[in-house]
Structure 1
Amino acid sequence: MGQSLKRGFVSALALSSALIAGQAWAKDDIIVAMQLEPPHLDPTSAAAQAIDSVVYSNVFEGLTRFMGDGSIVPGLAESWEISDDGTVYTFKLNDGVTFHDGSAMDAEDVKFSLDRARAEDSANAQKALFAGITDVSVVDPLTVQVTLGEPNGNFLFNMAWGDAVIVAPESIDSIKTNPVGTGAYTFAEWVQGDKIVLERNPDYWGEQPALAKATFKFISDPTAAFAAMMAEDVDVFDNFPAPENLPQFEADPRFQVLVGSTEGETILSTNNKQAPFDDLRVRQAVAHAIDRQAIVDGAMFGYGTPIGTHFAPHHPAYVDLTSKSGHDPEQAKALLAEAGYADGFETTLHLPPPSYARRGGEIIAAQLAEVGIKAEIINVEWAQWLESVFKGKDFGLTIVSHTEPMDIGIYARPDYYFQYDNPKFQALMETLNTTTDPDERTKLLGQAQTMIAQDYVNGYLFQLAKTGVAKAGVQGLWVNAPTAAFELSEVSWVE
């Protein structure tokens, strides 16, 4: 009798386990690891990629949005009409959209958001996206009209950026710590230094996502990242910081490795107004001191595409200009001598936390030292980098990956942190903005890439690869990154 009871218990346990296994596909939560923690959660007032990684499309939405293939599709605007002269956009908004606090999202909120972004005192990191807007008018609660001073072929593209999401006036005071958007997920919790939790919005106006909960965990150390993934403590590491470990994950059936491209031009940013970098010959010398492939191989274990200008190689208009700044230490020394620095000089190299910066910085410092440039490495946290480098412009050199899509227009902003001021380039960008013919735009983009390469504005290193690791059962992940985001709407577990 005892044995019968035991066998019955074992059978019941087996049945229970089978049921649990059969229902494994119903898992509706996910843990996503990130290397950087956002400084706050307002994408309309900071340049930190980590903000969009959490909130883009998940919490906040714009009039248009990026899809995983880079295409632009309707967002909060269900449709739009463009005037014959290309200067007036009339957006028809989706009906029944509410913010997470229950208030209705309407044309007044769109007007508020766009006017706030383009205001004189705007803190928007991409304020230039809105510079061409001359008026935003409410036609009716579901219709808003945006007037441009001149046609802009990029306008719908610009409205898809995280910096252009729609926010409500009543939520602005606490938006950095309690974001209130219209997206499929609501903000639930932020444990500083540990995690941010999002929960499915039951009142979402669009299609309900499969996942009920997403936890974003912050793991800055590459060794800890590897340990957490191998222990299956996290489900996805969207941009895995230790590429040398990817072959091990590829060989393990528990995981999948997703290698794609990003919009991240990784550059040795140079302070063009700080001596001696205000001398073209010095900037050119820096460019020739750099061995891009050695950096890609040494810091990224081969993941990354060398670039010679600030433009993504996968874009149809890309021009390969790597030969203009080929590795040539002797030429670098000659240029330094010509500029009056035969014995070299000292400068600073500020490195934010990402592996491409910290690892790449060590290699670059060694390469610069070979031509007489002594770069003092200063490791900074992301918030420090934003404050001292990006805002304060207190640096000589720094390494950062610009992940905003097709952002060559930043070189037309003299007050941007690397402080490149070329009226000819600014005029070229104005012409590009008013040009709609595809062939002519490609020609102008080629001229723009060439101009900044010839001015050696920055040291152009490589296009950042997207190296994601996930458990085998996760599906719907972006392979490529058309913008900096971990978009949850299509993510689910395999049934």
Structure 2
Amino acid sequence: MTLWKSVLAAAVLALASGSAALAARTDLVLGIPLEPPHLDPTAGAAAAIDEVLYANVFEGLTRIGPNGEVLPDLAESWTISDDGKVYTFKLHTGVKFHDGTDFDANDVKFSLDRARAPDSVNAQKGLFAAIDSVDVVDPATVKVTLKNPQGSFLYNLGWGDAVIVAPESADTNKEKPIGTGPFKFQNWAKGSSITLVKSDNYWGQPAYLDKAEFRIVPDAAAAVPALLSGDVQAFPFFQPDGVAQIEGDPRFKVVVGSTEGETLLSINNKKPPFDQLKVRQAISYALDRKAIIDGASNGLGVPIGSHQSPASKAYIDLTGEYPHDVAKAKELLKEAGLENGFKATLKLPPPSYARLGGEIIASELREVGIDLEIIPVEWAQWLDQVFTKKDYDLTIVSHTEPNDIAIYSRPDYYFNYQNPKFNEVIKELDVTSDEAKRIELLKQAQKILADDAVVGFLFELPKVGVWDAKLSGLWENAPIQANDITKVKWND
């Protein structure tokens, strides 16, 4: 009897211990398709940087929430002057950077002044162009004065490019990022993974996870077995063509949400013959969006006709402006003096939407007489050759930055597009706070871009998330380029 009781007690204890171990799991391996070029969100355009560090390691005065809303972050509150030009931010106190240094208003001034400085390397320097001055009122109060009212100012401060960094560590953040977030950087195994661990002195609500490894899985074919084996528990941005192998498996959740990723056939507008409107229009008529969406996003992308997310209140459907029409495309090329067609290059970065979509688009353009040489490039090459040096004819990329239609007004942007009328609309939008007026201006801007056929507007990139069914807290949608794991936890 005594032996039986001992065995029973041992079994109960083992079961309880096993249950506790399962319930107490606090580690996560999260798969990402692209390795960031470095780890400083304030010094690079690559979305992969924010997808590891935004909200997790680095924080801003404000942050963008899972539904695209503006939330307080390092600023606990703010007031706005009657003329809309002076923002006074009250900061959280007792906040420390991960190296133990104190956060205060001086760090805010340093970060904003650094981002807008003449020698700034910030990829979104335009976000800070409206700032006239940044003044420290006291350690917990900072006053930002704008040159003119800016309706999107608080939203702009929530971008990854606007996170707050410390002067002591700003120069080394590319390799050893130091922020104020609930996770701190532990290790970067180049080509393999980036590991974050829970910060012990976080000022806000602590994270549930103790450790998170962002594992780089660039090959879509490797993602499915990594998930099925349990080596990786979550892919917030899963390749759409792998969904069929996961759907129906009760161990996983498949969540299809929206993004801010306008997927474009980008065109170098100053390079002949693309400097001719009729040539760009011919390209737009040659594109069969349905075939591209089916092949490049497993049919999950939403067609777009200009640069605005269909999830936006300001979105207008302009997909009918250039319906698929091979005859019309050939007619326009003839009018442009290119009846016999021409040759061009198509540089394709690594994502499957680009590589798969590029093959389809090359076939479609070949049908109207445009013979494309496909040139695969890695992200570092794309950023250098296409984005920076504008050395390209055509390329395919998703612009995942939120509410970024103003990029077409930038004089040195890689589209090489300039339209004074469009620039005036954006200039007025920038100083307008009234929502109804802003929506009307955004609609005008979309129409101008469509009329000018600046790029080939393809589709809004879907956010396909696949993760262990026991996980909660991962974002369904992607209003900003981020893998926010601050609320992620394992459930029984």
TM-score interval for Structure 1 and Structure 2 normalised by the shorter chain: over 0.9
The one-letter code sitting in structure 2 at the alignment partner of 1:331 is K
Which residue in 2 is equivalent to 1:281?
278
**Does residue 334 of structure 1 match 2:370?**
no
Which residue in 2 is equivalent to 1:19?
17
Deviations 1:191-217 (A, max 9, x none): 000000000001000010100110000
The one-letter code sitting in structure 1 at the alignment partner of 2:316 is V
Which residue in 1 is equivalent to 2:427?
430
Alignment of 1:351-362 (within 5 A): 351-362=348-359
CA shift at 1:11, angstroms?
A: 8.2
Which residue in 1 is equivalent to 2:257?
260
Deviations 1:256-301 (A, max 9, x none): 1111000100001111111111111111111111111111111211
Alignment of 1:85-484 (within 5 A): 85-241=83-239, 243-484=240-481
| Conserved 8 A contact 2:224-2:245 | no
The one-letter code sitting in structure 2 at the alignment partner of 1:310 is H
CA shift at 1:10, angstroms?
A: 9.8
The one-letter code sitting in structure 2 at the alignment partner of 1:139 is V
In structure 2, distance between residues paired with 1:172 and 1:196 = 19
**Does residue 65 of structure 1 match 2:63?**
yes
Deviations 1:18-38 (A, max 9, x none): 531343121001000000000
In structure 1, distance between residues paired with 2:4 and 2:238 = 47
Q: Which is worse superposed, 7-16 or 298-307?
A: 7-16
State percent identity of aligned pairs. Answer: 56
CA shift at 1:416, angstroms?
A: 0.6
In structure 2, distance between residues paired with 1:257 and 1:25 = 23
Deviations 1:224-251 (A, max 9, x none): 111111111101011112x233133221
Report the TM-score, using the length of structure 2 for normalisation.
Answer: 0.97
| Conserved 8 A contact 2:276-2:336 | yes
CA shift at 1:8, angstroms?
A: 7.5
In structure 1, distance between residues paired with 2:320 and 2:441 = 20
Report the TM-score, using the length of structure 1 for normalisation.
Answer: 0.97
In structure 1, distance between residues paired with 2:320 and 2:122 = 36
The one-letter code sitting in structure 2 at the alignment partner of 1:362 is E
| Conserved 8 A contact 2:289-2:459 | yes
In structure 1, distance between residues paired with 2:144 and 2:427 = 19
**Does residue 82 of structure 1 match 2:80?**
yes
Which residue in 2 is equivalent to 1:43?
41
In structure 1, distance between residues paired with 2:484 and 2:467 = 14
The one-letter code sitting in structure 2 at the alignment partner of 1:161 is W
In structure 1, distance between residues paired with 2:301 and 2:26 = 34
CA RMSD of aligned residues (A): 1.6
- SS of the residue corresponding to residue 250 of structure 1 reads coil
Deviations 1:288-337 (A, max 9, x none): 11111111111211111000000000101101000112111111111111
The one-letter code sitting in structure 2 at the alignment partner of 1:332 is A
The one-letter code sitting in structure 2 at the alignment partner of 1:65 is R
Unaligned 5+ residue runs, structure 2?
Answer: none
In structure 1, distance between residues paired with 2:333 and 2:19 = 67
In structure 2, distance between residues paired with 1:9 and 1:459 = 71
In structure 2, distance between residues paired with 1:165 and 1:263 = 20
In structure 1, distance between residues paired with 2:8 and 2:293 = 55
CA shift at 1:14, angstroms?
A: 7.5
CA shift at 1:7, angstroms?
A: 12
Deviations 1:420-460 (A, max 9, x none): 11111111111011111111111111000000110111100
In structure 1, distance between residues paired with 2:15 and 2:272 = 69
Q: Which runs of at least 4 in structure 1 moved beyond 6 Å after TM superposition?
A: 4-11
Unaligned 5+ residue runs, structure 1?
Answer: none
The one-letter code sitting in structure 2 at the alignment partner of 1:353 is P
- SS of the residue corresponding to residue 107 of structure 2 reads helix
Deviations 1:335-373 (A, max 9, x none): 111111111111111111111111111111111111111
In structure 2, distance between residues paired with 1:419 and 1:46 = 20
In structure 2, distance between residues paired with 1:10 and 1:328 = 76
The one-letter code sitting in structure 2 at the alignment partner of 1:144 is V
In structure 1, distance between residues paired with 2:390 and 2:78 = 40
CA shift at 1:17, angstroms?
A: 4.7
| Conserved 8 A contact 2:258-2:478 | yes
The one-letter code sitting in structure 1 at the alignment partner of 2:345 is T
The one-letter code sitting in structure 2 at the alignment partner of 1:396 is D
- SS of the residue corresponding to residue 453 of structure 1 reads helix
Q: Which of 28, 33, 50 is 1:52 aligned to?
A: 50
